[in-house]
Amino acid sequence: MRVVETFAEARRATEGRVVLVPTMGYLHEGHLALLREARGVGETVVMSLFVNPLQFDDPADLDAYPSDLGRDLELAAAEGVDVVFAPDVDEMYPRPPRTRVVLPELGGRFEGAHRPGHFEGVATVVTKLLAGLRPDVAVFGRKDAQQLAVVRCLAEDLSFPVEIVGVSTVREADGLALSSRNVRLAPEDRRRATALSRGLFAAADAIEAGLRDADRIEAVVAASLREEGIEPEYVALVDRDEVVRLERLDRDAFLAVAARVGSVRLIDNVHIDLTAEGPAVDRGRFLATESVLYRRRT
Ligand code: PAF
């Protein structure tokens, strides 16, 4: 595995069908699932590792973002990554960017409304990664469902010859979706945080039993949060591509929730495919043992 810091070195280190997995580091099994998917579809797997300051609306969140390069490199090597592209801020942004990528509609709702500038930062850095590394495939997690829609949209609108692949969420054994932020939850908040996935799964059960009305589906999730005294920032049944709220579940969608639990802001969702046999809900994959997130910290 090679570790490089510049776009030029990264391009020189790749050959054949190149698959990119963009990350901000502090890897967990959710990232490892993306790397495994990548390994299965291409010849050169490139993992980018860059904590992108442009996408943090809250400087305290950026400061608190966990990092451990040594641990990330070990985990990446074990997954067969060929190239780790770990630029510093000067390589990524030699000067404050004069060009930014803005998706006013897709990036303005839900997460975008609660985190002003977030998707502009994500879309700008992803565009730079696609332009600078020129992958054939790029792999993203379904956990960030709106991000996935934003990336699909920008790749299409800006004519990047790249296939965007979405991979199911990986969850801790009790259902909490894996996130590097989980390590910042206080013990009691870590317990309360399972209300998000519990609510989504209860709503998924109701959907599979025939519920289609968005207000009632969302109410199931909100009730689960309120049982733990958590006030949702939003709960919404969302069209998967256009990222607009649906009144009824009548197309492929995701059911999304965002909430602050203690000092940590969490998001989660389930994806729903409307198949000929009825709705198929992707609840994600559950770990049987404790996540690597908690194994070592610096
Ligand atoms: O999902 C993430 O970790 C980030 O938003 C991404 C896609 C690496 C861009 O910085």
Q: Within a 13 Å sphere around the CA of 203, how many CA atoms are in the beta-carbon half?
A: 35
Determine whether the shortest distance from the Cβ of 52 to ligand 1 is under 6 A: yes
* Predicted pLDDT of residue 75: 97
54 within some domain: yes
In a domain, 235, yes or no: yes
- Give the ligand 1 atom nearest the CA of 50: 10
Pocket test for ligand 1, best of 54, 55, 150, 152 (most atoms within 8 A of CB): 55
Q: Is residue 268 part of a domain?
A: yes
Query: What pTM was computed for the model?
Result: 0.96
* Residue 16 in this model has a pLDDT that exceeds 60: yes
Least Cα distance to 123 among 37, 22, 41 occurs for: 22
- Token digits for 265? 């802001």
Residue 57, pLDDT score: 86
Interval between CA 92 and ligand 1 midpoint (Å): 14
Q: Which of 167, 200, 227 is the last residue of a domain?
A: 167
CA distance linking residue 119 with residue 124, whole number of Å:
8
How many domains, the chain?
Answer: 2
Cα–Cα distance measured from residue 293 to residue 227, given in angstroms and rounded to the nearest whole number: 27
Residues 121 and 236 in one domain: no
Query: Are 250 and 242 contacting, i.e. CB atoms less than 8 angstroms apart?
Result: no
CA of 276 relative to ligand 1 center, distance in Å: 34
Question: Is the pLDDT assigned to residue 298 strictly greater than 80?
Answer: no
Say yes or no: CB of residue 24 within 6 Å of ligand 1.
Answer: yes
Average pLDDT for 100-128 = 97
**122: Cβ below 6 Å to ligand 1?**
yes
Same domain, 184 and 221: yes
| Tokens at 60, concatenated | 């305290």
Whether residue 290 is contained in a domain is answered as no
Confidence band (pLDDT; 50, 70, 90) for 210?
very high
Using an 8 Å Cβ cutoff, are 246 and 238 in contact? yes
Give the Å distance between the CA of 275 and the centre of ligand 1. 30
User: Distance from the CA of 206 to the center of ligand 1, in angstroms?
Assistant: 32
Which residue would you say has higher pLDDT here, 293 or 143? 143
Looking at the predicted structure, is the pLDDT value of residue 110 above 80? Answer: yes
Ligand 1 nearest atom to the CA of residue 141, by list position: 1
CB atoms within 10 A of CB 39: 17
Q: What are the catalytic residues?
A: 31
Q: Does residue 125's CB lie within 6 angstroms of at least one atom of ligand 1?
A: yes
Same domain for 200 and 58:
no
109 lies in some domain = yes
Model confidence at 194: pLDDT above 80: yes
pLDDT of 9 > 90? The answer is yes
Q: What is the pLDDT of residues 28-42, one digit of tens each?
A: 999 999 999 999 999
Ligand 1 atom closest to the Cα of residue 51 is: 10
The CA 82 to ligand 1 mean position distance, Å, reads: 19
Report yes or no on 296 lying in a domain. Answer: no
- The pLDDT, as a whole number, for residue 296 is 62
Q: What is the structure's pLDDT at 214?
A: 98
Report d(CA 198, CA 275) in Å as an integer. Answer: 24
Percent of the residues in the chain that have a pLDDT greater than 70, as a whole number: 99
Based on the fold, state whether residues 141 and 105 are members of the same structural domain.
yes
Ligand 1 close to Cβ of residue 22 (< 6 A): yes
Ligand 1 lined by 23 (C-beta under 6 Å): yes
pLDDT, residue 295, reads 81
Q: How far apart are CA 203 and CA 296, in angstroms?
A: 35
Q: Which atom of ligand 1 is nearest to 122's Cα?
A: 9
Q: What is the pLDDT of residues 61-108, one digit of tens each?
A: 899 888 999 999 999 999 999 999 999 999 999 999 999 999 999 999
Structural domain of 119: 2-167
Q: What is the pLDDT of residue 64?
A: 87
Ligand 1 site, residue 120, Cβ cutoff 6 A: no
Q: What is the CATH number of the domain that holds 226?
A: 3.30.1300.10
Q: Do residues 188 and 77 both lie within one domain?
A: no
The pLDDT tens digits for 155-172 are 999 999 999 999 999 999
